Structures are given as structure tokens and as C-alpha cells.
Amino acid sequence: MTRQIADGFQNPTLIELEARVRGLETQVAHLTELVKELSGDQRESS
């Protein structure tokens, strides 16, 4: 079973890795903005 999984796995290409990194960077940027907004909202209501 392990061998079947290993045989079917292919390392991602450089282009695929770059796309993943860009996607993660975008997610981090969105999450950072959300945290800033939520933190600002909490400070104003305190």
C-alpha cells in the first residue's frame, strides 16, 4: 500500500509551488486585514 502511494505521488512543479505561495500570501494578507479590523472594532467598543 505504501509503495502504491509513493509511486503515484509526483513532486509539484516550480510553477505549482509558486502559485501555492502566492495563494498563501494572499490569504495571510486578507487574514491580517481582518485581524486589524476586528482589533480596531474592539478598541473602539471598550
pLDDT by position in tens, the chain (length 46): 556 666 778 899 999 999 999 999 999 999 999 999 999 866 555 5
Can you give the pLDDT at residue 30? 98
From residue 35, give the alpha-carbon distance in Å to each of 7, 13, 17, 42. Answer: 42, 33, 27, 10
What is the CB neighbour count within 10 angstroms for residue 30? 10
Q: How many Cα neighbours within 13 Å face the side chain of 36?
A: 6
Q: How far is CA 24 from CA 2, 38, 45, in A?
A: 29, 21, 31
Question: What local confidence, expressed as pLDDT, does residue 42 receive?
Answer: 64
Residue-range domain boundaries for the chain: 10-45
pLDDT of residue 8: 73
pLDDT for residue 6: 66
